[in-house]
Amino acid sequence: MCGIIGFTGNINAKDVLLQGLKALEYRGYDSAGISYFTENGIRTIKAVGKVSGLADKVASASSDTAKCGIGHTRWATHGGVSETNCHPHRFGKVTLIHNGIIENYKELQDELAKEGKEPVSQTDSEIAAMVIDSCYKNNPVRAIKKAVKKLHGAYAFCIMFEDHPGSIYAIRNGSPLVATATKEGAIIASDMVALIKYSKDYFVLPEHHIAHLTAKSINITDLDQNEIEPDMLHVNWDMAAARKGGYEYFMLKEIHEQPESLHNTISPRIKDGLPDFSADNIPDSLFTDINRIVITACGTAMHAGLIGKNMIERFSRIPVTVDIASEFRYQNPILDSSTLVITISQSGETADTLAALRLAKENGAKTLSIVNVKGSSIARESDYVLYTHAGPEIAVASTKAYTVQLAAVYLVSFRFALAKGTLTEDETRKLAATLLEMPSFVENMLSCDKAIEPISNKLKKTKSLFFIGRGLDYALSCEGSIKLKEVSYIHSEAYAAGELKHGTISLITDNVPVIALATQENVFAKMISNIREVRSRGAKVIMVAGTGAQVDASLCDHLITLPPVNDLFAPFGAAIVLQYIAYYTATARGLNVDQPRNLAKSVTVE
Ligand code: M6R
């Protein structure tokens, strides 16, 4: 949830840290701070609010130079938003930054109190600094090894010891850390966006290993002090991808990047007109040797899973359930070696999804993950990975990561059915060919912003609204609703259109907006009846209809018609409409859509 960075090298560390924090700000943005070695010891500067505020404070505080330091952008979990609770935390000789949660911090705090040691903040992270300091007898590695035995929970730490200038030590359990050694120095951070300026090659710090960063190298040892060589990874995007490139917000930029992300995700997997996972090393036996599928994920990724269920069941006639990861993991799910558990995650680090994956593996299920971030925990721990290629997604609201997740579940459903023989080669070819058209279909859809902006202007004062749909459109309604809520703060609910009259229709009164998705011909007539039901109770209806739908003008207040497309692929178009509705409604309300309140991009805590 928080963003962390450490740098030691031969260029200005303060610049590296502040630029890195700016890039990482999407991970947490209630306060930020840096610490760096000076000739007179470690200096710490903190500020509540944005990284730009911290940068101003750093500039006015001093013109000292630094070559080694750590920085943190916070998303509060323990203790409110204040400079005291902001990282880095210092105790004794230890200064550290932390991402994660130390679950037993209260017990540890009580023990430390017996020695007369009291924290100044309300954070679990300061307690971790105190524990490490209490283990410290001039040997950083020994102190960290001893301390982590006492710390329970998820963590990624970057630690500086007062009497080891120029060195940064790091360790992680659960929370991500990636690092690279470059000619400018060694750099470590919670994710690649902070490193990309310096290198496209990096490694993921293995869990329970200690990294020692100096200006010249990074040395990694396990807890028995055996040195290891990390597996190097490479990203194929660059700095431009991690910048706004002229767009006002990352969210809008990422909406516009969807044709390219879809192309990169789909086209390498269609060989001779058929879906093909040989380059992903996913064998057909993964699909033929199972009798049920569980898809588990959180938020938007779970909504992609709802579409996946529809497609896989439709083509393979194999039962699929979709579970929210935070529910799945505590419900003693029925799993065995004939179950395939598919986890979907943009970040590959969502704590609940990772825990669900681990549970599936413990119970002998086969696992496949659909992940965007290379080398992330979920990708590394799954039996098989199907990477989506959206590039970095910076806006908290997921847009391009969602549509590439859709592309991935479509590919899985086609390959699955082909392997099982429930789709013929000819049928599969036709579907694959249509999927290949999605980048240009979405490109075409991007121009519907002109129709949506005025509708959003009308929605901006709304207190509450509803999304309704059936089948694939219901799954999309769920996504439309979360998107609108998270960036515009307008309350909304997604309802299966036929279910509305079993209670919720009581909330439909004069002028309540209802966004009705009606892109599926097989349930179109039913949707029309549902729309009439809400209209007759005063609803203002914004209808998204499929191509060729005969819509009576009196049925809705606004009509958006998708360009011609096979109904099964309509979600790719409807998703763009819903993303624009969220984006333009939020911007019409004057909100910062990239950094919505209370949210973080990657939810690495429970
Ligand atoms: O990184 P993940 O895909 O695992 O994240 C899951 C959710 O936290 C994420 O999709 C969230 O719902 C988005 N902010 C929604 O736009």
Length of the chain counted residue by residue: 606
Percent of the chain residues past pLDDT 90, beyond the cut: 86
Beta bridge partners of 539: none
Q: Which atom of ligand 1 is nearest to the CA of 347?
A: 1
Q: Which atom of ligand 1 is nearest to the CA of 300?
A: 10
Structure tokens given for 249: 């917000």
| Over residues 381-385, mean pLDDT | 97
Q: Residue 62's pLDDT is what?
A: 79
388 lines ligand 1 (CB under 6 A): no
Q: How far is the CA of 388 from the centre of ligand 1 (A)?
A: 14
Q: Residue 223's pLDDT is what?
A: 92
Cα–Cα distance, 256 to 216 (Å, whole number) = 40
Indicate whether 228 pLDDT > 80. yes
Q: How far is the CA of 258 from the centre of ligand 1 (A)?
A: 17
- The continuous run of DSSP H or E covering 45 comes out as strand 41-48
Q: Residue 549's pLDDT is what?
A: 78
Pocket test for ligand 1, best of 398, 483, 598, 604 (most atoms within 8 A of CB): 398
Catalytic, 2? Answer yes
369 contacts 357 by C-beta, under 8 angstroms? yes
Indicate whether 239 pLDDT > 80. no
pLDDT in tens, 85-143: 999 999 999 999 999 989 999 999 999 999 999 999 999 999 999 999 999 999 999 99
3-state secondary structure of 596: coil
3-state secondary structure of 310: helix
118, HSE (Cβ side, Cα atoms, 13 Å): 2
Q: How far is the CA of 418 from the centre of ligand 1 (A)?
A: 30
Q: Residue 595's pLDDT is what?
A: 85
Signed CA dihedral, 6, 54, 376, 435: sign only: negative
Indicate whether 1 pLDDT > 80. no
Indicate whether 606 pLDDT > 80. no
Residue 293 — pLDDT band, cuts 50, 70, 90? very high
3-state secondary structure of 381: helix
3-state secondary structure of 268: helix
Indicate whether 25 pLDDT > 90. no
Q: Is 503 exposed, middle or buried (0-12, 13-18, 19+ CB in 10 A)?
A: exposed
> Per-residue DSSP letters for 137-197?
SS-HHHHHHHHHHH--EEEEEEEEETTSTT-EEEEEESS--EEEEETTEEEEESSGGGTTT
Chain-wide mean pLDDT for the chain?
Answer: 94
pLDDT in tens, 436-465: 999 999 999 999 999 999 999 999 999 999
301 lines ligand 1 (CB under 6 A): yes
Q: Is 166 exposed, middle or buried (0-12, 13-18, 19+ CB in 10 A)?
A: middle
Q: Residue 286's pLDDT is what?
A: 95
191 lines ligand 1 (CB under 6 A): no
546 contacts 567 by C-beta, under 8 angstroms? yes
Residue with the bigger pLDDT between 259 and 75: it is 259
β-bridge pairing 464-469 and 513-518? parallel
Q: Residue 150's pLDDT is what?
A: 97
pLDDT in tens, 44-96: 999 999 899 999 999 998 788 899 999 999 988 788 899 999 999 999 999 99
Whose C-alpha lies nearest to ligand 1, atom 8?
Answer: 299
Catalytic, 114? Answer no
Cα–Cα distance, 178 to 232 (Å, whole number) = 10
Nearest-5° angle of CA 346, CA 69, CA 378? Answer: 20
> Per-residue DSSP letters for 241-257?
GGS-TT-SSHHHHHHHT
Q: Dihedrals φ, ψ of 424, to 5°?
A: -80, 170
481 lines ligand 1 (CB under 6 A): no
Q: Residue 261's pLDDT is what?
A: 96
Q: End-to-end alpha-carbon separation of the chain, Å?
A: 11
Q: How far is the CA of 344 from the centre of ligand 1 (A)?
A: 10
Residue 601 — pLDDT band, cuts 50, 70, 90? confident
Whose C-alpha lies nearest to ligand 1, atom 4?
Answer: 345
